[in-house]
């Protein structure tokens, strides 16, 4: 008994977790949240820096608290920037699709064997 339809060679490609439009939407959402986090953390850190530079001392008696705003605000700025970058990369990623193998080196069919 012969089968009319040929079986596909090898295992099928991976199934995408999200549809391309959902992937783009999730990437844009993550990017917007990263922009908001970076902006608010940056503004807060900048405000604390201006306040630290305009005040007379560190405000901690013998303990100098000058520069503590970078220790507190820096990680939030970094996390926001990484979310911004990751969301941008996710929204620009090409959709994974098809189980067709990639084309040959010239982009077409492989060359025919020489005639004998």
Q: Which two tokens stand for residue 110?
A: 């492989």
Q: How far apart are CA 65 and CA 45, in angstroms?
A: 14
Q: How far apart are CA 26 and CA 83, in angstroms?
A: 12
pTM over 0.75: no
pLDDT values of the chain reduced to their tens digit, one per residue, 116 residues:
555 666 556 666 777 666 777 888 888 999 999 999 999 999 999 998 888 888 765 555 666 677 888 999 999 999 999 999 999 998 886 655 545 555 555 556 767 788 87
């Amino acid at each position: 008994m012969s089968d009319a339809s040929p079986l596909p060679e090898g295992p099928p490609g991976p199934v995408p977790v999200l549809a391309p439009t959902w992937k783009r939407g999730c990437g844009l959402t993550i990017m917007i949240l990263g922009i908001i986090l970076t902006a608010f953390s940056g503004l807060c850190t900048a405000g604390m820096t201006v306040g630290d530079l305009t005040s007379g001392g560190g405000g901690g008696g013998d303990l100098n608290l000058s520069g503590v705003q970078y220790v507190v605000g820096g990680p939030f700025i970094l996390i926001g920037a990484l979310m911004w970058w990751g969301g941008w990369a996710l929204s620009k990623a090409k959709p994974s699709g098809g189980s067709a193998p990639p084309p040959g080196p010239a982009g077409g069919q492989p060359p025919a064997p020489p005639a004998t």
